[in-house]
Amino acid sequence: MSAKLMKVFVTRRIPQEGMKILSAAAECEVSLWDSDEPVSRAELLKGVQGAHGLLCLLSDKIDAEVLDAAGPNLKVISTLSVGFDHMAIDEIKKRGIRVGYTPDVLTDATAELTVALLLATARRLPEGVEEVKNGGWSSWKPLWLCGYGLSGSTVGIIGLGRIGMAIAQRLMPFGVKRLLYSGRTAKAHATEVNGEFVPLDTLVSESDFIVVSCSLTPETQGLCDKAFFSKMKNTAVFINSSRGAVVNQEDLYEALSSGQIAAAGLDVTTPEPLPTNHPLLTLKNCVVLPHIGSATYSTRGIMSALAARNLLGGLQGTEMPSELNF
């Protein structure tokens, strides 16, 4: 087969670093959904027809229907993300399609954003900024806009993986006293941050700050629910930078509005975008960001190049720099 016949569908405008690599690949005929907004389902199903390679985003649901629409040519799917919960992995595996993703290269950026979100939430930065703008700042007041500090605190990390560990490393220098973590298995690297592997219930009831950084799986879906929040301290702060579906948002709203927990910071929600009339957005003690964990110029450029290289490796049947082993 002529290498020129390798059809690739890219589901969004991506940073030029990746597009340059694809454009320079003689064997690729690239078609792009040339927009900053998501491809519609209908256009995705059309665009993928006959494709040998698909470069997608976390907002594209890659299920049996998409794989059927692509047909038997499809050799590789490369996602511009480390999370792969948007893909029907069992279906993909059954069809012998390889998957590329972007671990490691976004770890620092995401950990940094998570720490920023934690500090902004615990120290009430969005509220403070708003008060300066709306004239609510009348004087320095001893009891006004007080929050919670990390010094001497207990931090609990759910999922001490690449990003969870990078968050822990950044938080420890703030004077954290105990670092608890939970997950399926204890981690050897936890010793670097004096991490204590504990049952989830212990983490939830003893932590002053809880940070969710696990992957979304059937086991973690809805993990943070009414029972979870009811075990948290009233003074504790909850942070989620993994996936929105790990949290039951109705239960979180109840916990925040009733004073069961102190505050929450979310970089991820269900759905995304969160509707502007969503109840969580009415709460002063809830800080919501638009899924920007990995959003530095440099990180997105590197992710784009990695996703392109993964795609080419899959098309050529050679090594992919970051292939998902499933």
- Residues with active-site annotation: 291
User: Smaller CB distance to ligand NDP: residue 141 or 184?
Assistant: 184
Helix (H, G, I), strand (E, B) or coil at 241: coil
Q: What does the block give as tokens for 247? A: 């949290």
If binding is defined by CB under 6 A, does position 162 make contact with ligand NDP?
yes
Size of the site for ligand NDP (CB under 6 A): 31
**Peptide bond preceding 218: is omega within 30 degrees of 0, i.e. cis?**
no
If binding is defined by CB under 6 A, does position 268 make contact with ligand NDP?
yes
User: Smaller CB distance to ligand NDP: residue 173 or 218?
Assistant: 218
Separation of CA 271 from chain center = 13
Specify whether the CB–CB gap between 231 and 207 falls below 8 A.
no
* Residue 217 binds: one of ligand DGY, ligand NDP, none (C-beta under 5 to 8 A by kind): ligand NDP
Smallest distance, Å, CB 86 to ligand DGY? 9
| Contact mark string toward ligand NDP, 195..224, x via CB under 6 A | ------------------xxxxx-xx----
Closest to 51 in 3D by CA, of 80, 71, 33: 71
Element spanning 196, H or E: strand 195-197
User: Smaller CB distance to ligand NDP: residue 185 or 325?
Assistant: 185
Helix (H, G, I), strand (E, B) or coil at 42: helix
**Nearest-10 Cα torsion for 280, 281, 282, 283:** 60
User: Smaller CB distance to ligand NDP: residue 128 or 244?
Assistant: 244
- Would you tell me which residues interact with ligand DGY (CB under 6 A)? 58, 81-83, 102, 106, 293-294
Specify whether the CB–CB gap between 36 and 13 falls below 8 A.
yes
Q: Using CB under 6 A, which of the segments 38-46, 115-123, 129-137, 177-185 binds ligand NDP?
A: 177-185
* Residue 164 binds: one of ligand DGY, ligand NDP, none (C-beta under 5 to 8 A by kind): ligand NDP
